[in-house]
DNA sequence: TATAATGTTCTCGT
DNA sequence: AACGAGAACATTAT
């Protein structure tokens, strides 16, 4: 459940379900997902306290604990947070389970274990340590243009670099490049002002559209690549099949007609 | 059975 | 210093 819109929906889910309930116990089923906290540290920090606030920066989640510290959660490639009203129906790949005093539970599951869960005394120091740039939905145009265009690297690579801006992953970077007709290998410092503005504006539109669609790609507006991002599908503007290439070890989809180098 | 998967981080080489 | 390629992490689905 990886990129910014998916993570934002998880945040909202937690906000609506787990917030305010006092934690009675914490069970770590796989210590491999802990980062910056031990099992004992987690138990000590959380037991007897409630999550009082949710926050998201890029793909990173933060939950304020009643004692002033923050629980940090990254969903990696396959992570999710599940609220269980009666504590039953534990997901197969549950890694950490939080049981509330009222009998409900809150679960961190992550099949591939690329995610991480831990503690930090300060969000700012955590973001600094992880070298996360501004949130992709919060960054202003000037800042975006300045940060992106300073790199002599393919624009796809720059958009995926979480230290430039945080929250964009492989799928949404493909989508915004397609929306703006920019080739994934175009060098960031060679883009003109119009292209940079287009990317900034459409990044916000694409991310918000996906959140509004509850990340159901079928419900995205017409003309979106993500409605049919498959090798056997084609450009919605009537051009040919998608072309694919590897950029940063990830598969990039693009339309060679719409996105010229 | 081989390949790829919405992510991050590290090494090695240019 | 900046950058790219490749590997590593773990597990499933096609």
Distance of C1' in C5 from CA in A76, Å:
22
State residue A87's pLDDT score. Answer: 81
Nearest residue to A18 (alpha-carbon basis) of A74, A63, A69, A73: A63
Distance of C1' in C2 from CA in A170, Å:
22
Alpha-carbon Rg for chain A, nearest whole angstrom, is 20
Query: Is the pLDDT assigned to residue A98 strictly greater than 90?
Result: yes
CA distance A77 to A3: 9
State residue A253's pLDDT score. Answer: 96
Residue-averaged pLDDT of chain A: 96
CA distance A132 to A148: 14
Rounded mean pLDDT, A166-184: 97
Q: Which nucleotides of C are covered by protein (CB under 7 A)?
A: 2-12
C1' of nucleotide C11: residue with nearest CA: A112
Query: Is the pLDDT assigned to residue A202 strictly greater than 80?
Result: yes
0.85 surpassed by pTM:
yes
> Over the stretch A116-162, which tens digit does the pLDDT of each residue have?
999 999 999 999 999 999 999 999 999 999 999 999 999 999 999 99
φ/ψ of A19, rounded to 5, equals -60, 135
* Cβ contact A172:A223 at 8 Å: no
State residue A119's pLDDT score. Answer: 97
- Using a 7 A cutoff on CB, list residues near strand C: A 32, 77, 93, 111-114, 151-154, 157, 247-249
E strand or H helix that includes residue A170 = helix A170-180
Q: What is the DSSP string of A207-244?
A: HHHHHHTTT-GGGSPTT-GGGG-STT-B-TTS--BPEE
State residue A40's pLDDT score. Answer: 96
Q: Confidence band (pLDDT; 50, 70, 90) for A1? A: confident
Query: Is the pLDDT assigned to residue A244 strictly greater than 80?
Result: yes
Query: Is the pLDDT assigned to residue A254 strictly greater than 90?
Result: yes
> Over the stretch A212-223, which tens digit does the pLDDT of each residue have?
999 999 999 999
Rounded mean pLDDT, A175-189: 97
- Using a 7 A cutoff on CB, list residues near strand B: A 1-3, 6, 58-59, 74, 76-77, 112, 114, 130-131, 160, 162, 169-171, 249-251
Q: Confidence band (pLDDT; 50, 70, 90) for A75? A: very high
Distance of C1' in B11 from CA in A100, Å:
43
Q: Which nucleotides of B are covered by protein (CB under 7 A)?
A: 4-9
> Over the stretch A38-47, which tens digit does the pLDDT of each residue have?
999 999 999 9
CA distance A43 to A204: 38
If one counts every other C-beta atom within 10 angstroms of the C-beta of residue A96, the result is 23
Rounded mean pLDDT, A228-235: 94
E strand or H helix that includes residue A160 = helix A155-160
Rounded mean pLDDT, A44-61: 97
Query: Is the pLDDT assigned to residue A67 strictly greater than 90?
Result: no
CA distance A68 to A46: 11
CA distance A161 to A141: 17
- The nucleotide lying nearest A246 (C-alpha to C1') is C5
């Amino acid at each position: 459940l990886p990129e910014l819109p998916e993570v934002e929906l998880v945040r909202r889910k937690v906000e609506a379900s787990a917030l305010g309930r006092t934690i009675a116990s914490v069970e770590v089923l796989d210590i491999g997902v802990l980062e910056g906290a031990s099992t004992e540290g987690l138990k000590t920090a959380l037991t007897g306290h409630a999550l009082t606030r949710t926050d998201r920066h890029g793909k990173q989640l933060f939950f304020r604990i009643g004692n002033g510290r923050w629980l940090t959660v990254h969903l990696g490639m396959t992570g999710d947070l599940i609220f269980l009203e009666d504590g039953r129906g534990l997901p197969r790949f549950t890694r950490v389970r939080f049981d509330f005093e009222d009998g409900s539970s809150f679960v961190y599951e992550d099949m591939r274990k690329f995610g991480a869960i831990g503690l930090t005394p300060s969000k700012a120091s955590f973001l600094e340590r992880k070298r996360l740039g501004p949130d992709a939905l919060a960054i202003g145009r000037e800042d975006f243009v300045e940060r992106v265009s300073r790199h002599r690297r393919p624009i796809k690579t720059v958009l995926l670099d979480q230290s430039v801006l945080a929250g964009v992953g492989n799928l949404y970077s493909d989508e915004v490049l397609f929306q703006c007709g920019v080739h994934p290998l175009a060098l960031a410092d060679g883009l003109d002002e119009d292209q940079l503005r287009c990317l900034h504006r459409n990044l916000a539109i694409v991310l918000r559209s996906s959140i509004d669609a509850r990340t159901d790609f079928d419900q995205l507006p017409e003309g979106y690549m993500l409605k049919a991002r498959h090798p056997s599908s084609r450009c919605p503007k009537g051009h040919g099949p998608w072309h694919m290439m590897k950029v940063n070890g990830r598969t990039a989809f693009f339309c060679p007609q719409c996105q010229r180098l």
